[in-house]
Amino acid sequence: MNTDEFQPDPELKDTIDLPRIENAVREILLAVGEDPERPGLVETPSRVARMYAEVFSGLHRDIQKDIKVFEEKGNDEMILIGDIAFYSMCEHHLLPFHGKAHVVYIPRKGRILGLSKVARIVDTLSKKPQLQERLTSEIADTILAAVDPLSVCVVLEAEHLCMTMRGIRKPGSKTVTSAMRGGCRSDARTRAEALSLINRRRTD
Ligand SMILES: [Zn+2]
């Protein structure tokens, strides 16, 4: 499959202005001293425009579409959804940061989220100009609003290309952020249990 063939969601047609991105990319190419008309670059502005429509599609997607709640009576044990791969764009440099998200929560009255839905939530919230800290909080708050769990703990570990391919250049360095809500925030024992569940699962 040709990955350049991404076509924006029909709903996004009016929200993502592809020709405007194309013009801007052409301007950047000119500004750095390139020739946007040379064969290798002639298709680049439209390709970049479609790519931006895809990687920023979370700006316009209704997060409610990613949420499906199940009732499973008696399920009040800690649930871990670990190693959710995500890709986002640092809002300071428009360079990718990517890594893994780990979510632990304790359901209230058996209200749980479909496993694939947690990954969808992470994906949608990642697809906009972001900060890792805010993304972490938004994931926690979305889960909190969706199923009102007794506790939720979200940990993100990511490599930021703005740190590893330029600037201070620390290849392979990871930034780790966490957001705690409910029991994970107020109770040290619940927090320790959630974090040890994540640490046992964490892969490098
Ligand atoms: Zn950055």
Tell me what pLDDT residue 201 has.
76
Do 42 and 143 have their domain in common? no
Q: What letter would DSSP give residue 72? A: -
Do 181 and 146 have their domain in common? yes
Do 164 and 74 have their domain in common? yes
Do 118 and 172 have their domain in common? yes
Tell me what pLDDT residue 6 has.
56
User: pLDDT per residue over 82-100, tens digit each?
Assistant: 999 999 999 999 999 999 9
Tell me what pLDDT residue 11 has.
60
Do 45 and 137 have their domain in common? no
**Domain-ending residue, one of 12, 33, 55:** 55
Do 51 and 110 have their domain in common? no
Q: 184 alpha carbon to ligand 1 midpoint, in Å?
A: 29
User: pLDDT per residue over 44-75, tens digit each?
Assistant: 999 999 999 999 999 999 999 999 999 888 87
Do 47 and 101 have their domain in common? no
**Which domain covers residue 113, as residue numbers?**
65-201
Do 46 and 85 have their domain in common? no
Tell me what pLDDT residue 169 has.
73
Do 28 and 82 have their domain in common? no
151 DSSP β-pair partners: 106, 182
* Ligand 1 is an ion; residues with CB less than 5 A from it: 90, 92-93, 162
Q: 110 alpha carbon to ligand 1 midpoint, in Å?
A: 39
Go through 116-148 and write b for each residue having 16 or more CB atoms within 10 A of its CB, e for each that does not: ebbbbbbbbbbbbebebeebbbbbbebbbebbe
Low-confidence stretches of the chain (pLDDT < 70) are 1-14, 202-204
Do 101 and 147 have their domain in common? yes
The domain tally of the chain equals 2
Residue 22: give its domain's CATH number.
1.10.286.10
Q: 185 alpha carbon to ligand 1 midpoint, in Å?
A: 28
Is 60 a domain residue? no
Residue 162 annotated to the active site = yes
Crossing angle of helices 18-31/44-55, nearest 10°?
A: 120
